[in-house]
C-alpha cells in the first residue's frame, strides 16, 4: 500500500484537535470527522492545481489531456462527499453480482493436522510490535501480522485468483470504481471480539492520524481510496479514484485489515511508546500472550483453537501448529547447529554451501532430516546495491554508471553461490510480461568503469590505487549492509573487485533492522537492502515518486521506500498513471518505460536472484502433497510463509524414539519442479 504529498503547508499540521487525549478514550467519530475535512480540503486544492495546469497548457497537448484527466478525477472525488461515509443497506445498488471465490482450488492439503509447536528463528528482534507507525515495517512484521492475518480478500497462491478472507463476498458497481464487501458474520479478532465493517474505517483513520506517524499510510490511503462507506455491521464499500479490475482491487486494498477499536482506546499522544510492545488482536488465528515476549530472545504466538476461520475453505488446512516460537539467532551458522540438534524444525538451505555440504550429515542419510528443493513462481527481491542520489558524488550519472561496471556480481554468483543463482536483470523481476526484457545488468568491466569515472572528473590515481579528482576528492563510498556472514562475504568480494576500477568501498555492516531503517531514512551512500515484494503488480510509486523523496520544503523525506531520493517529473507522471490505470496493456507499457528510465539513470546495480528455495526439515514437519499442491503453492516466497505445513506429533515421537534406538528411515531428497518456469 502506498502514497502522495501535494497538499498545502497548512495541512502539515495535525488533523486532530489537541484535546483528544487518550485518558478519556480516543474519539474515533471526531477523528473521522477531522479526517473528512482534511481529505476534502486536499481534494479542493488538488482540483485547483489541476485547473491551473489545464489553463496554462496548450489546447490539445499531452499536458492539457493529462490536466483534464486530473480535473475529472478530483471533481468525481469531491462529488462523492465525505471520505468516511455512513449509509444504510437501502442505499446499496440494486442488482449487484456478488462473488465468493469458492469455485477456486484449495491451495493447501486436507491431510494437514492441528497441533504441535513450530520452532524457527529470525535474525534480529523487532523494534516494535505495532502494526503501523515508526519502525513497524521492519523486524517481524510478516510473522506477527501480514502472513497470519486476513484482510478483506486474499489471493489464491496456486493461480493468483481472488478468494474470500474477512469478506465472504464482493461485487463491483457499473464503473468498477466502487467495490462492495460483505463480511463473514462470525469474523472475529484473535481475542474473540467480533469484527465490524466500521473497523475498516477505524483502521484507515488510525493510520492517517498524525498520532500514528505513518506518512506512507496517510499518503496512500488519501490517494488510492476516494471513499469508505459503511452500510451496516457487515457491509461496506471502497471507492477508488479510478476503475479497478478484480486483481487491481486486491492489489490496492485486499490485504488491508480491520483494527479493533477496543484495543486502541488509549490511542493518541504517546501512541508510539504506549503501544510499542503490545500485539494487536487481528483477524488471524494467532496472538501473543502476555509473558510470551522475551525481549531480544524470542516471541511465541499461540493459536486460538476457536478461531472463526477454522472451517472456512482456503484456511481450514492452514495455520496448523498450536504454537509458533520465533527465536532470535543472529548467526545463520548457529541457527543451523540448533536445527541439527533438534531445537529448530526447519533450516533454509538454499545457499550452495548449506545444500551441498552442511546437509551432508548422518541425520539426513538416516532419514531423520529430509531435504526439499522447491521451484516457485514469485517476484524476486531486489538483491543488489541502491544509490542515494542526494549524496553529492552520486548526483553525477557517470559516477553511478562507473559503479555499475565496478561491482562484480558475476564473481559473487560464481564464488559465493557456486553458479547456482542467476544475475538479477534489473530492479524488477518475477512479474511476467510486466518485466522489461530489454533491461539487463551492466557487465563488470574495470576499463568501462574508469572511463565513466574519468568523465566525472576522477582522473588521478593515488598510490593506493584509488582514483581522485585533481582537487584531491577520493573515489570512496560507504556501503551499508546486513551484518550477516553471507552478506559480509559478498561485500568483501565486491570491495576487493571494485579496487581494480579505482573505487574504495568502505563496508559498514550493521544489524538488519538498523540498515533497513537507515535506508528508509536515506542515511547512507550505498546500501544493500532488499524488499519482500508481492504479486500481482510491482508498486513503482513508493520507490520512485518524488513525493517519497522530498517534502514541500525540499527536505529529505524519511520513512519511505524511495531510498534513492529519486526525483523526476516524467517518472512522477508515469508511476501515477501506472497506479491509476485498470488497462493491463497500458500498465505493461508504463512498467517498461519506468524500468527503462531506472536502468538509464543507473540508481540500482542488480545483484543476484534464485528461482527456488531449498529446505531441510525434521521429518515430522509435513508439507502439502495433493494433485495441485506439491510441497507449497508456487506464488509464495519462502514456503513456511504460507502456513500450509503441519507438525505430525506422532511422527515426531516416532523419530525421537528411532534416534534413541538407532532405527533409521529412507533418505528423502524431494525435488519439486511442478511450478518451475522454463
Mean pLDDT of 429-441: 94
Instruction: Specify whether the backbone of 288 is left (phi greater than 0), alpha (psi in -120 to 50) or beta.
Output: beta
pLDDT at 22 over 50: no
pLDDT band per the 50, 70, 90 thresholds, residue 78: very high
Cell 484449495 maps to which residue? 106
> From residue 500, how far is each of 405, 466, 495, 534 by CA, in Å?
11, 9, 9, 37
The SS3 of residue 402 is helix
pLDDT value of residue 23: 38
Q: What is the residue-wise DSSP string for 383-399?
A: -EEEE-TTSGGGGSHHH
In this model, does residue 140 exceed pLDDT 70? Answer: yes
Q: Is the pLDDT of residue 183 over 70?
A: yes
Kind and range of the H or E run holding 38: helix 28-56
The pLDDT of residue 37: 95
% of the chain beyond a pLDDT of 90: 88
pLDDT of residue 461: 97
Peptide bond connecting 536 to the previous residue in cis, omega within 30 degrees of 0: yes
Please check whether residue 239 is in contact with residue 23, taking contact to mean a CB–CB distance below 8 angstroms. no
- pLDDT tens-digit profile of 6-21? 222 222 223 433 333 3
CA–CA separation, 676 vs 664, rounded Å? 32
Domain spans of the chain, in order of start = 359-377+611-672, 384-609
Q: Taking 90 as the threshold, does the pLDDT of residue 117 lie above it?
A: yes
Give residue-wise pLDDT tens across range 284-326: 999 999 899 999 999 999 999 999 999 999 999 999 999 999 9
Assess contact for 653 and 677: CB atoms under 8 A.
no
Mean pLDDT of 51-72: 91
Q: Note the maximum CA span of the chain.
A: 86
pLDDT of residue 25: 57
Q: What is the C-alpha to C-alpha distance for residues 232 and 565, in angstroms, rounded to an integer?
A: 44
pLDDT value of residue 351: 92
pLDDT at 13: 26
CA-wise closest residue to 148 among 173, 131, 123, 167: 131
* Peptide bond preceding 68 in cis form (omega within 30 of 0): no
Residue 103: partners with Cβ closer than 8 Å, 6 or more residues away: none
Q: Say yes or no to pLDDT of 2 above 60.
A: no
pLDDT (mean) for 467-486: 96
Rounded mean pLDDT of 629-654?
97
Is residue 265 predicted with pLDDT exceeding 70? yes
pLDDT the model gives residue 456 = 98
pLDDT at position 16? 39
Q: Which CATH number fits domain 384-609: 1.10.150.120, 3.60.60.10, 3.40.50.12660, 3.10.105.10?
A: 3.10.105.10
pLDDT value at 146 more than 50: yes
| Straight-line distance from the first to the last Cα atom of the chain, in angstroms, rounded to the nearest whole number | 31
Grid cell listed for 184: 463473514
Residue 297's pLDDT is 96
The candidate with the shortest Cα–Cα distance to 327, out of 136, 118, 21, 141, is 118
Average pLDDT over residues 42-62: 94
Please determine, for residue 538, whether its predicted confidence score (pLDDT) is greater than 50.
yes
Amino acid at each position: 500500500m502506498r502514497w502522495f504529498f501535494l497538499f498545502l503547508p497548512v495541512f502539515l499540521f495535525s488533523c486532530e484537535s489537541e484535546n483528544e487525549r487518550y485518558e478519556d478514550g480516543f474519539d474515533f467519530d471526531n477523528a473521522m470527522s477531522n479526517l473528512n475535512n482534511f481529505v476534502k480540503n486536499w481534494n479542493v486544492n488538488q482540483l485547483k492545481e489541476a485547473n491551473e495546469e489545464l489553463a496554462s497548457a496548450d489546447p490539445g497537448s499531452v499536458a492539457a489531456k493529462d490536466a483534464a484527466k486530473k480535473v475529472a478525477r478530483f471533481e468525481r472525488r469531491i462529488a462523492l462527499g465525505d471520505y468516511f461515509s455512513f449509509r444504510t443497506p437501502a442505499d446499496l445498488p440494486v442488482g449487484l453480482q456478488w462473488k465468493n471465490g469458492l469455485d477456486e482450488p484449495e491451495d493447501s492439503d486436507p491431510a494437514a493436522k492441528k497441533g504441535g509447536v513450530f520452532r524457527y528463528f529470525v535474525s534480529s528482534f523487532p523494534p516494535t510490535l505495532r502494526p503501523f507507525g515508526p519502525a513497524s515495517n521492519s523486524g517481524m512484521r510478516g510473522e506477527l501480522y501480514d502472513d497470519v492475518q486476513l484482510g478483506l480478500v486474499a489471493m489464491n497462491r496456486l493461480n493468483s485468483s481472488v478468494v474470500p478472507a474477512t469478506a465472504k463476498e464482493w461485487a463491483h458497481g457499473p464503473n468498477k470504481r466502487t467495490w462492495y464487501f460483505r463480511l463473514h458474520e462470525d469474523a472475529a479478532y484473535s481475542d474473540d471480539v467480533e469484527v465490524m465493517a466500521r473497523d475498516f474505517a477505524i483502521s484507515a483513520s488510525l493510520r492517517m492520524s498524525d498520532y500514528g506517524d505513518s506518512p506512507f499510510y496517510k499518503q496512500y490511503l488519501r490517494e488510492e481510496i476516494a471513499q469508505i462507506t459503511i452500510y451496516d455491521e457487515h457491509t461496506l464499500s471502497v471507492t477508488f479514484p479510478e476503475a479497478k479490475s478484480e486483481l487491481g482491487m486486491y492489489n490496492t486494498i485486499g490485504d488491508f485489515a480491520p483494527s479493533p477499536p477496543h484495543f486502541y482506546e488509549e490511542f493518541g499522544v504517546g501512541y508510539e511508546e504506549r503501544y510499542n510492545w503490545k500485539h494487536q488482536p487481528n483477524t488471524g488465528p494467532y496472538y501473543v500472550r502476555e509473558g510470551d515476549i522475551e525481549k531480544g530472545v524470542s516471541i511465541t504466538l499461540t493459536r486460538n483453537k476457536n478461531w472463526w476461520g477454522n472451517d472456512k475453505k482456503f484456511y481450514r488446512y492452514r495455520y496448523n501448529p498450536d504454537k509458533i516460537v520465533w527465536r532470535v539467532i543472529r548467526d545463520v551458522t548457529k541457527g543451523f547447529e540448533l536445527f541439527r540438534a533438534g531445537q529448530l524444525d526447519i533450516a533454509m538451505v538454499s545457499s550452495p554451501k548449506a545444500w551441498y555440504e552442511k546437509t551432508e550429515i548422518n541425520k539426513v542419510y538416516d532419514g531423520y532430516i529430509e531435504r526439499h528443493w522447491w521451484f516457485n513462481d514469485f517476484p524476486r527481491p531486489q538483491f543488489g546495491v541502491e544509490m542515494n542520489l542526494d549524496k553529492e558524488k552520486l548526483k553525477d550519472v557517470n559516477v553511478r554508471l562507473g559503479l555499475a561496471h565496478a561491482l562484480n556480481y558475476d564473481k559473487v554468483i560464481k564464488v559465493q553461490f557456486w553458479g547456482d543463482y542467476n544475475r538479477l536483470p534489473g530492479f524488477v523481476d518475477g512479474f511476467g510480461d510486466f518485466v522489461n526484457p530489454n533491461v539487463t545488468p551492466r557487465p563488470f568491466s574495470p576499463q568501462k568503469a574508469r572511463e565513466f569515472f574519468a568523465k566525472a572528473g576522477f582522473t588521478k590515481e593515488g598510490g593506493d590505487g584509488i582514483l581522485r579528482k585533481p582537487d584531491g576528492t577520493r573515489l570512496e563510498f560507504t556501503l551499508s549492509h546486513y551484518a550477516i556472514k553471507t552478506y559480509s562475504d559478498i561485500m568483501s568480494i565486491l570491495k576487493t573487485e571494485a579496487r581494480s576500477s579505482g573505487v574504495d568501498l568502505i563496508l559498514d555492516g550493521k544489524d538488519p533492522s538498523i540498515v533497513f531503517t537507515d535506508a528508509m531514512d536515506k542515511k547512507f551512500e550505498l546500501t544493500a537492502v532488499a524488499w519482500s515484494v508481492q504479486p500481482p503488480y510491482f508498486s513503482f510509486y513508493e520507490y520512485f515518486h518524488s513525493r517519497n523523496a522530498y517534502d514541500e520544503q525540499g527536505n529529505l523525506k524519511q520513512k519511505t521506500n524511495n531510498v534513492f531520493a529519486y526525483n523526476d517529473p516524467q517518472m512522477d507522471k508515469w508511476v501515477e498513471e501506472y497506479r491509476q490505470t485498470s488497462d493491463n496493456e497500458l500498465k505493461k507499457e508504463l512498467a517498461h518505460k519506468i524500468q527503462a528510465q531506472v536502468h538509464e539513470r543507473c540508481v540500482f546495480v542488480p545483484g543476484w536472484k534464485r528461482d527456488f528455495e531449498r529446505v531441510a526439515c525434521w521429518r515430522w514437519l509435513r508439507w502439502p502433497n495433493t494433485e495441485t499442491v506439491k510441497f507449497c503453492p508456487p506464488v509464495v516466497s519462502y514456503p513456511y510463509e504460507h502456513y500450509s505445513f503441519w507438525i505430525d506429533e506422532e511422527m515426531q515421537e516416532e523419530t525421537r524414539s528411532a534416534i534413541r534406538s538407532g532405527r533409521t528411515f529412507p533418505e528423502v531428497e524431494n525435488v519439486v519442479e511442478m511450478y518451475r518456469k522454463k
